[in-house]
């Protein structure tokens, strides 16, 4: 029982217990979330920074549990990664995004987030190829977002997997750039189409923080010289938009341009943007 402990333990043990219990309960619920139909995707617009034209969408996973309600991916994705549940969930995300986007009949690009665990599996290339073949989505319409952390692990499996994915004609973007691993070596040998600049730098820059401005400038220069685009993430205000545009970011994404949308609303936006 929990009432035996005295002193300092009394103050924080119940909290720790709650956190562990919550994790355990969420993990069990996560195991059946896909098959119970509790998952769906939202699509957030990505636009050209200079023209405001829609260039595509990022697919973002949503989980609505019948009892717990909406659970944030910031909470359940790391849990799914630790519990080794991210591969099957990620495969569902990939197939669903390809199926849904293929039915839009407009050439909007779809970006899908991929966890390191998925890229450390040589079979992932076949999973991507199958998602494309079964949906009929053209490979150039699919973009996979990977984070720097994928390059942290020993061995080259992920690098080879990324190469084979590029060979399929699928694009890659580097997500949350600057928030993790700092070696730049992999940028020279993996062909990314774009680098996504984390919201923390966007916020910093628009507040006039010199370091944030310097970092965005450097990333844009680096991306330019490597023939890559830059996407500023989490742009919430006109001021932030002006700032990242002035710093040379080619694309922008954030609440200022649109929240993540349910699939039908995203489709309508894509149709409208293509003049349909
Ligand atoms: P992320 O890949 O960096 O995705 C961008 C996050 O920023 C999303 O949060 C999005 O809703 C949010 N966001 C977009 N615009 C704004 C803005 O203007 N202001 C602010 N404050 N936030 C903005 P979300 O949907 O909660 O996802 C959180 C994270 O969960 C994602 O970060 C990604 O790392 C992960 N995630 C989401 N879906 C998937 C998925 O299908 N697979 C994997 N492996 N991870 C996913
Ligand atoms: Ca992302
Ligand atoms: Ca990001
Ligand atoms: Ca992220």
Ligand 3 center from residue 181 Cα (angstroms): 14
Residue 7: predicted pLDDT: 42
Under 8 Å between Cβ of 179 and 212: no
Q: Which two tokens stand for residue 100?
A: 């849904």
pLDDT digits (tens, 9 = 90+) for 132-150: 999 999 999 999 999 988 8
Q: SS3 string of the chain?
A: CCCCCCCCHHHHHHHHHHHHHHHHHHHHHHHCCCCCCCEEEEEEEEEECCCCCEEEEEEEEEEEECCCEEECHHHHHHHHHHCCCHHHHHHHHHHHHHHHHHCCCCCCEEEEECCHHHHCCCCHHHHHHHHHHHHCCCHHHEEEEEEHHHHCCCCCHHHHHHHHHHHCCCEEEEEEECCCCCCCHHHHHCCCCEEEECHHHHHHHHCCCHHHHHHHHHHHHHHHHCCCEEEECCCCCHHHHHHHHHCCCCEECCCCCCCCEEHHHHHHHHHHHCCC
When the pLDDT of each residue in the chain is averaged and rounded to a whole number, the result is 91
Ligand 2 center from residue 175 Cα (angstroms): 5
Q: Residue 200 above 50 pLDDT?
A: yes
Q: Residue 66 above 50 pLDDT?
A: yes
Q: Residue 222 above 60 pLDDT?
A: yes
Q: Residue 12 above 80 pLDDT?
A: no
Residue 153 pLDDT level (bands cut at 50, 70, 90) = confident
Phi-psi region for residue 84, left (φ > 0), alpha (ψ -120 to 50) or beta? Answer: left
Query: What is the complex's ipTM, to 2 decimals?
Result: 0.98
Residue 185 pLDDT level (bands cut at 50, 70, 90) = confident
CA nearest ligand 1 atom 43, residue: 113
Length of the chain: 276
pLDDT digits (tens, 9 = 90+) for 225-254: 999 999 999 999 999 999 999 999 999 999
Tell me which of 216 and 3 has the higher pLDDT.
216
Q: Residue 276 above 80 pLDDT?
A: no
Q: Which of 60, 92, 235, 241 gets mutated to test ligand 1 (max ligand atoms within 8 A of its CB)? A: 60
2-16, 18-32, 88-102: least confidently modelled range: 2-16
CA nearest ligand 1 atom 42, residue: 113
Is the beta carbon of 77 within 6 A of some atom in ligand 1? yes
Ligand 1 center from residue 123 Cα (angstroms): 26
Residue 11 pLDDT level (bands cut at 50, 70, 90) = very low
Residue 9 pLDDT level (bands cut at 50, 70, 90) = very low
Q: Residue 270 above 60 pLDDT?
A: yes
């Amino acid at each position: 029982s929990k009432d035996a402990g005295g002193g300092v333990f009394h103050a924080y043990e119940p909290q720790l217990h709650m956190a562990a219990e919550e994790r355990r309960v969420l993990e069990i619920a996560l195991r059946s979330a896909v098959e119970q139909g509790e998952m769906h995707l939202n699509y957030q617009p990505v636009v050209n920074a200079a023209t405001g034209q829609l260039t595509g969408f990022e697919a973002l996973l949503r989980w609505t549990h019948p009892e717990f309600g909406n659970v944030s991916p910031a909470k359940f994705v790391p849990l799914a990664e630790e519990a080794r549940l991210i591969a099957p969930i990620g495969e569902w995300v990939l197939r669903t995004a390809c199926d849904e986007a293929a039915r839009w009949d407009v050439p909007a690009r779809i970006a899908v987030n991929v966890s390191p665990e998925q890229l450390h599996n040589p079979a992932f290339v076949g999973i991507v190829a199958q998602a494309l073949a079964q949906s009929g989505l053209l490979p150039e319409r699919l973009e996979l977002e990977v984070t720097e952390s994928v390059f942290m692990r020993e061995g080259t499996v992920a690098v080879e997997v990324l190469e084979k994915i590029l060979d399929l004609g699928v694009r890659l973007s580097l997500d949350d750039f600057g928030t993790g691993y700092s070696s730049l070596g992999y940028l020279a040998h993996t062909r990314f189409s774009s680098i996504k600049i984390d919201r923390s730098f966007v916020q910093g820059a628009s507040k006039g923080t010199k370091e944030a401005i310097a970092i965005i400038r450097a990333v844009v220069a680096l991306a330019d010289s490597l023939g890559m685009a830059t996407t500023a993430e989490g742009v919430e205000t006109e001021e932030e938009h002006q700032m990242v545009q002035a710093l040379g970011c080619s694309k922008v994404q954030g609440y200022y341009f649109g929240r993540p949308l349910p699939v039908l609303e995203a489709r309508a936006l894509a149709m409208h943007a293509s003049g349909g």
